């Protein structure tokens, strides 16, 4: 079989000189870092011994195998805590940010009900937070969904006015997964503390990318994901403050692991990977952020220099530079995605990509429906190169120009027609 395969490869080389059709067999460039990140090889190195040799259950207290695994889990707990300025005892391991968000929103709501039955969140939260809130509404809880401005940032005065003596929790994400906007987390935390309301933030897109300190920012609960910071999939964490103590009602029953808040055997290899990813992120954060700024600026300069009618969604300043969400007017986003088949991109969140509806995040910031349909999210990561950015920008420019040439609307705009003033007849 090996000999046959090598003959096939040599025949391709001899006859076709690796023509374009064979190059296309290769994998596309990866520009979807908000959906997931590749595992850092250094993380895999840390995990391997616990996948093979040190395979004990960390909750087995009677032999060496269990003690080895428990020691590794506690080291990882410390590594996660160090990244956010927490005490290791405040870190609970989960299966990911979705579970952490569910425990935070539903757990706090159920524990402090019926005395407090009001929760405040925003219209641009991750789907799992919004769906958790809708589930609570079905149970009789009152939910306030704060609007955001055209830049994607909440109004702090509106937040303060929304808080009542019945409010148990405010849940607002740190960095948005679709448009990369950063919320004023420290200011939100200060308001919540002054009103004696618990503050939860979904930091899946922010952890390890921007500095976070749960004490300085007055954060009471924080959701963390492993695969967003070059760690393994299937593992995450939840920071739950001990002083003043935050109580949550657990979602699942079992052996009482993780201080009774998340029963189930802790997966040692995955947790070790999360810890290693957090340690690397803490060490490389400044370098990584500077690299993201350089890549995104190079990409935007190239796009803006060749294309008009391109809108960056979200605040241009208060944003994470590795998430660039652009709307290309008079171009259908799905058509552009199909044209850019050699670049792995997204038109929105991977968690809601099955829907053909325009992004609810873009609708919340007031984006026109046609522009919302023309948006593409370019996700840059630690391993993205300048050459990949140049290539992607050039391909994007070429295909946007080609698709616009096919658009009768673009032709009208070029002739000076104001499309918004046209009254289209219906047949």
In this predicted structure, what is the pLDDT of residue 390?
Answer: 98
122-158 residue pLDDT tens: 999 999 999 999 999 999 999 999 999 999 999 999 9
3 assigned to some structural domain: no
Residues 406 and 310 in one domain: yes
Is a pLDDT exceeding 90 seen at residue 309? yes
Is a pLDDT exceeding 90 seen at residue 405? yes
Residues 165 and 220 in one domain: yes
Q: Is the separation of the CB atoms in 31 and 382 below 8 Å?
A: no
Residues 191 and 315 in one domain: no
Rounded CA gap, 224 and 222, in Å? 7
Q: Is the separation of the CB atoms in 233 and 227 below 8 Å?
A: yes
Write out the catalytic residue numbers.
351
Is a pLDDT exceeding 60 seen at residue 194? yes
Q: Is the separation of the CB atoms in 173 and 125 below 8 Å?
A: yes
The whole-number average pLDDT for the span 369-395 is 96
Residues 356 and 214 in one domain: no
74 assigned to some structural domain: yes
Point out the least confidently predicted range of 10-24, 28-42, 77-91.
Answer: 10-24
Residues 119 and 251 in one domain: yes
Residues 313 and 340 in one domain: yes
Domain final residue pick, 247, 280, 313: 280
In this predicted structure, what is the pLDDT of residue 401?
Answer: 96
Is a pLDDT exceeding 90 seen at residue 344? yes
The whole-number average pLDDT for the span 401-426 is 79
Residues 19 and 56 in one domain: no
The whole-number average pLDDT for the span 401-421 is 83
Summary mean pLDDT of the chain: 91
CATH number at residue 155: 3.40.640.10
Residues 30 and 57 in one domain: no
Q: In what order do the strands lie in the sheet with 198-202?
A: 91-94, 236-240, 221-225, 198-202, 167-171, 118-122, 142-146
Give 427's pLDDT tier (boundaries 50, 70, 90).
low
Q: Is the separation of the CB atoms in 80 and 237 below 8 Å?
A: yes
418 assigned to some structural domain: no
421 assigned to some structural domain: no
Give 11's pLDDT tier (boundaries 50, 70, 90).
very low
Give 426's pLDDT tier (boundaries 50, 70, 90).
low
Residues 100 and 163 in one domain: yes
Give 105's pLDDT tier (boundaries 50, 70, 90).
very high
What residues contact residue 227 under an 8 Å CB cut-off, 6+ apart?
Answer: 36, 37, 39, 96, 233, 234, 235
Domain final residue pick, 223, 248, 280: 280
26-46 residue pLDDT tens: 899 999 999 999 999 999 999
In this predicted structure, what is the pLDDT of residue 423?
Answer: 65
List the beta bridge partners of residue 224.
Answer: 237
Q: What is the dihedral of CA 247, 253, 254, 260, to 10 degrees?
A: 0
Number of domains in the chain: 2
In this predicted structure, what is the pLDDT of residue 259?
Answer: 79
346 assigned to some structural domain: yes
Q: What is the pTM of this model?
A: 0.90
Residues 88 and 18 in one domain: no
238-290 residue pLDDT tens: 999 999 999 999 998 888 887 768 889 899 999 999 999 999 999 999 999 99
Rounded CA gap, 307 and 395, in Å? 12
Q: Is the separation of the CB atoms in 54 and 267 below 8 Å?
A: no
Q: Is the separation of the CB atoms in 121 and 222 below 8 Å?
A: no
Cα distance between the two ends of the chain: 62
Rounded CA gap, 81 and 275, in Å? 9
3-state SS string for the chain:
CHHHHHHHHHHHHHHHCCCHHHHCCCCCEECECCCCCCCCHHHHHHHHHHHHCCCCCCCCCCCHHHHHHHHHHHHHHHHHHHHHCCCHHHEEEECCHHHHHHHHHHHHHHHHCCCCCEEEEECCCCHHHHHHHHHHHHCCCEEEEECECCCCCECHHHHHHHCCCCEEEEECCCECCCCCEECCHHHHHHHHHHCCCEEEEECCCCCCCCCCCCCCCCCCEEEEECCCCCCCCCCEEEEECCCCCCCCCCCCCCCCCCCCCCCCCCCHHHHHHHHHHHHHHHHHHHHHHHHHHHHHHHHHHHHHHHCCCEEECCCCCCECCCEEEEEECCCCHHHHHHHCCCEECECCCCCCCCCCCCCHHHHHCCCCHHHHCCEEEEECCCCCCHHHHHHHHHHHHHHHHHHHHCCHHHHHHHCCCCHHHCCCCCC
250 assigned to some structural domain: yes
329 assigned to some structural domain: yes
Residues 164 and 306 in one domain: no
346-372 residue pLDDT tens: 986 444 444 567 899 999 999 998 899
Residue 407 burial (CB count, 10 A): 15
Residues 220 and 357 in one domain: no
Domain final residue pick, 280, 315, 334: 280
**Residue environment code for 108-120, b if the CB has 16+ CB neighbours within 10 A, otherwise e:** bbbebbeebbbbb
| Host domain of residue 357 | 9-38+285-413
102 assigned to some structural domain: yes
In this predicted structure, what is the pLDDT of residue 358?
Answer: 81
Give 57's pLDDT tier (boundaries 50, 70, 90).
very high
């Amino acid at each position: 079989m090996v000999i046959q395969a090598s003959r096939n490869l040599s025949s391709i080389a001899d006859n076709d000189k690796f023509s374009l059709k064979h190059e296309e067999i290769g994998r596309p460039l990866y520009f979807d870092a908000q959906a997931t990140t590749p595992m850092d090889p250094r993380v895999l190195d840390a995990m391997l011994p616990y996948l093979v040799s040190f395979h004990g259950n960390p909750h087995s207290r009677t032999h060496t195998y269990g003690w080895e695994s428990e020691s590794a889990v506690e080291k990882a707990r410390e590594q996660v805590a160090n990244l956010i300025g927490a005490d290791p005892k405040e870190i609970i391991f989960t299966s990911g940010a979705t579970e952490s968000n569910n425990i935070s929103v539903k757990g706090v709501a159920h524990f402090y009900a019926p005395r407090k039955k009001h929760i405040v969140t925003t219209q641009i939260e991750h789907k799992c937070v919004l769906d958790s809130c809708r589930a609570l509404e079905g149970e009789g809880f009152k939910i306030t969904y704060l609007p955001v401005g055209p830049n994607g940032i909440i109004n702090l005065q509106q937040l303060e006015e929304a808080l009542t003596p019945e409010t148990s929790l405010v849940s607002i994400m740190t960095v948005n997964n679709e448009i990369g906007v950063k919320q004023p987390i420290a200011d939100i935390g200060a308001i919540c503390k002054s009103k004696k309301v618990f503050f939860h933030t979904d930091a899946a897109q922010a952890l390890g990318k921007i500095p976070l300190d749960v004490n300085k920012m007055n954060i009471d609960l924080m959701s963390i994901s492993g695969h967003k910071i070059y760690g393994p999939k299937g593992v995450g964490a939840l920071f739950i403050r001990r002083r003043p103590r935050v109580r949550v009602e657990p979602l699942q029953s079992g052996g009482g692991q993780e201080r009774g808040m998340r029963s189930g055997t802790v997966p040692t290899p995955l947790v070790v990977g999360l810890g290693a990813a957090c340690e690397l992120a803490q060490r490389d954060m400044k370098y990584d952020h500077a690299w993201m700024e350089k890549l995104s600026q190079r990409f935007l300069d190239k796009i803006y220099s060749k294309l008009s009618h391109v809108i960056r969604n979200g605040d241009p300043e208060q944003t994470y530079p590795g998430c660039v969400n652009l709307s290309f007017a008079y171009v259908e986003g799905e058509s552009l995605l199909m044209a850019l088949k050699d670049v792995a991109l997204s038109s929105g969140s991977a968690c809601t990509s099955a829907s053909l509806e325009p992004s609810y995040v873009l609708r919340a910031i007031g984006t026109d429906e046609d522009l919302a349909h023309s948006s593409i999210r370019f996700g840059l990561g630690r391993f993205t190169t300048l050459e990949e950015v140049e290539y992607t920008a050039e391909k994007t420019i070429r295909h946007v120009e080609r698709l616009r040439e096919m658009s009768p609307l673009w032709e009208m705009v070029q002739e000076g027609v104001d499309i918004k003033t046209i009254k289209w007849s219906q047949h």
